[in-house]
Every structure is written in C-alpha cells, then in structure tokens.
Amino acid sequence: MDNVEAERQRRQNLNRRFYELRSAVPKISKMDKASLLSDAVTYINELKAKNKELESKLQHVQNLSNCVTHGAAADHYAKANTGMGLVVEVKFVGSEALIRVECPNMMMNHPAARLMDVLRDLQLQIHHASISSVKHLMLHDIVVGVPEQGFMTMEEAMRIAILRRLLSN
Amino acid sequence: MDNVEAERQRRQNLNRRFYELRSAVPKISKMDKASLLSDAVTYINELKAKNKELESKLQHVQNLSNCVTHGAAADHYAKANTGMGLVVEVKFVGSEALIRVECPNMMMNHPAARLMDVLRDLQLQIHHASISSVKHLMLHDIVVGVPEQGFMTMEEAMRIAILRRLLSN
DNA sequence: ATAGACACGTGAGTC
DNA sequence: TGACTCACGTGTCTA
C-alpha cells in the first residue's frame, strides 16, 4: 500500500515535534512521551504564572518610579498626603545638610516663610539659601548645619519631619 | 491478550495529556496533534522571550529607581560613567525647564563654566540661575527656556544630552 | 517472565 | 478520489 509509507512519515513527523518539544521544555521527569506532555503543561503554567508575577511587579515598580521620576524625585509621602507637588529632599554632606523644597505657590501662603519657620523650629542653622519662583512653583535650596546629634544618621527622618510640619495645620 | 487493554489505557492516558496540553496552549492553529505540538513549542518560546524581556525590563527599572531613591535622585548614567556624584536632573514646567546639576568640585575645573558652555551649545536660554558651593559639591539650579521643538517631549533626552557633554572630554 | 513504552501496519473516518 | 489524521491491535524491546 501507499498508506503505509504515508503513515510512516506521519509518525516520523510527529516524533520530530516531540523532540522539538523536549528541547523546549527544560525540566523533564522521564523520557516518556506522556510525562513529556504533562511536563510541558506544568512548564507552560509555570511560565504563565511567572509572567503574570513579573508583569504586576513591573507595573508596580513603574508606578513607583513614575511618581519619583515625574517630579524629578517627587515625594511619595507628599503625593499621598496632599495630592499636590510638594517635594522635600534632604541630603547630608559632612556636617551640613542640603535641603531642597519644591512647593506649588497655590499650596500655601508664603511657602518660603513657612519653610524658614519650620527650620527654626527644628533648630537647623541656615548656611546658605537660594529661593526662586518659576511659574507656579517655588524652589528652595538651602544648606543648613546639622546638630551634633539627632538627624545625623537619618536623612529620611529629617525629611519626613520637615514634610510633616509643612503639611500640618 | 492482556496487552491490548494495557495499550488501550496507554493511548487513552496519552490523549488525556494531549487535551490538557490543548487547554494550556491558547493559540492553536489546527486541532491536529502535530500542529498542537509545534504550537506548544512556539508558545513556550514566546513565553520564554516575554519572560526574559520582562525580567530585564524589571531589573532595569529597579536599577533606575534604586539609583533615584538612594541618592535622592542620584543619576544612573553618571554613576556608571564616572563613579562619582555627578547628578543632572531636568524637569519641564510649561515652556521652561528646571535644570539641577550637582557636581563634585574635584571632578572638573570650574564645573559652572563648563555647564554654561554646555547650555550655550544646546542653545538653552538661561532665565535664572543659582549656583552655590558647599564643601566639595557645586550646586547649580538653572531655569532655561526651551526651544519650540526638540526637547519639548523628551526630558530624558535633554538630561542625557547635558550629561554626555559634561562628561565628554 | 512480567509490565511499560514504543513503532508498525491496517482499517476507518474526514475534507 | 487521493491526501490526511486517527485509533486499534500486535510484535518488540528494555528494565
């Protein structure tokens, strides 16, 4: 018959696909065909799960970094609490601290004065200050001396302290 | 024979696996077994590729956000290329752009002059500038007008452009 | 020898 | 009608 040869090629072709599948699936329990198939489905499901996990993680991280990069270091805390573009950054350089505050003008009256009050309350001595207004935004770059103890190791605490006091009342 | 029944169950089992595989693979060209197998391998490879892409993207984003949050907007590009604390941030506000550059003094001669050269080269008109030196760090806060076209939609490109020119030569 | 897995040829069904 | 896929029973091989 001609059928026998056709069937021969069909089996041969099918086995080729099996080998291809074997090469595509890394974890193979047994060289058995049935095992290969179930291994393939479990592997596919693993990939699907990992894919979903990665996608959600990526979206989460991208959301966070959007918050950060959008405002060039926009403050998550401020965003969460005010919904506006208040940004406070603190960075220590030796015994001094750089403080950078971005504040929308409409957010509060005389943000500069308010910031100075806060710094006074926190007993932070001002070494240098540069304040400018661009459009609706007030920019404050301030260099302060840091007290011998307290904030020395906690830039974040200091940042949060300034932020809370700015937002309170 | 007893073999016939065993073989019957084996085929039956194998077909169950085939059906499971069918349910695991979303894109099926034909209901053919061979097609199913090749569809499975292509789908697996698609998942693998997407997985790698997501992983690298995630790592990339995580690296960026790590750099950003670690140094209060530290710059990945600068860190990678200089190993020092050069930081360039760009932020658009309407038709103006805020540029903030942190540069260690020992990194280059007169970083302010160099930065001005760069801004001139990029044809960015200076609206306001505040430059101060604290310890070993030079701080530049500059407000420039943005050309009608070009950087308007690409803060990042502008940031990178400034950074590259600062680092070149 | 006993069980499990496979390839083979064959008949049957489909387009 | 071929061209195609599939299920079946059978013989063979290995552990």
B55 and A CB contact within 8 Å:
yes
Contacts of residue B29, defined as CB under 8 A and 6 or more positions apart, other chains included, come to B35, B39
List, as ranges, residues 120-139 from B with C-beta within 8 Å of A.
Answer: 127-128, 130, 132, 134-137, 139
Strands (E), chain A: 87-93, 96-104, 125-134, 137-145
In this structure, what are the phi and psi dihedrals at residue A30, rounded to the nearest 5 degrees? Answer: -130, 160
Per-residue confidence of chain B (169 residues) as pLDDT tens digits?
677 888 889 899 999 999 999 999 998 988 889 999 999 999 999 999 999 988 887 766 554 433 333 333 333 333 333 445 677 777 766 677 787 778 887 777 677 777 777 777 666 677 777 888 777 788 888 887 765 444 333 444 555 555 555 555 5
Chain A nearest C-alpha distance from B16 (Å): 9
Contacts of residue B82, defined as CB under 8 A and 6 or more positions apart, other chains included, come to B107, B167
Contact residues for strand C with beta carbon within 7 Å: A 1, 3-4, 7-8, 11-12, 15, 31-34; B 2-3, 6-7, 10, 14
A58 → closest Cβ in B20, B57, B135: B57
Which nucleotide does the CA of A12 lie closest to, via C1'?
C7
Report the distance separating Cα A131 and Cα A29, nearest Å: 68
Distance measured from the CA of protein residue A7 to the C1' of nucleotide D4, in angstroms? 10
Between CA B95 and CA B104, with CA B100 as vertex, the angle to 5 degrees is 160
